[in-house]
Amino acid sequence: GWGNNKLVRVDLATMGYEIMPGGSYGITVDTQGRVWTNWVQRYDPATGQWQSPSASVGGSGGIAQDLQGRIWAAQQNGVIWVDMETLAVGDTVPLPFSGQAKGVSADIDGYVWVTFQNDTNAYRIDPTTYEVRTVTGLNDPYTYSDMTGGQLSNVNCNPPVG
């Protein structure tokens, strides 16, 4: 619900739906089935509650879970992480490009990838050491979604029936 601040949950069996306040442009689902928005807010469908870290860490770009249970969010000139269970705010990792980071994704090897709008590079972050590797020569690698495919391994979905 970008632009209207709404989040919609659809029941695939009945096609019934529920509309809640709190939608955003950058969005992901963690391994516990909770929805996260780029404002670093977590919605738990089991309780119907939104929660946020005590410190303001909101951004206006992508958001993703890594293999260590951290939620990474785009920030101005870099990314920040938050513990997905405790909501404790972790470190900010600056990147060598000036502007608002946009795309954030975690790959299957645990690296966090970040892109900026109007940049020809992607940045790979080692989530333990924060070492940054720059991948150059790209053609405007702008994305908010799972650009690495790694988020698919994190999603907690109901098993297929049939």
pLDDT digits (tens, 9 = 90+) for 138-147: 887 766 665 6
Lowest-confidence region among 8-17, 33-42, 142-151, 152-161: 152-161
Q: What is the C-alpha separation between 86 and 90, in angstroms, rounded?
A: 11
Q: What is the mean pLDDT of the chain?
A: 84
Q: Is the pLDDT of residue 136 over 90?
A: yes
DSSP code string of the chain = -TTTTEEEEE-TTT--EEEEE---SSEEE-TTS-EEETTTEEEETTTTEEE--SS----SS-EEE-TTSEEEEEEBTEEEEEETTT--EEEEEE-SS-SBEEEEEE-TTS-EEEEETT-S-EEEE-TTT--EEEE---S----SS-SSSGGGGT---PPP--
Q: What is the C-alpha separation between 58 and 129, in angstroms, rounded?
A: 23
Q: Is the pLDDT of residue 160 over 50?
A: no
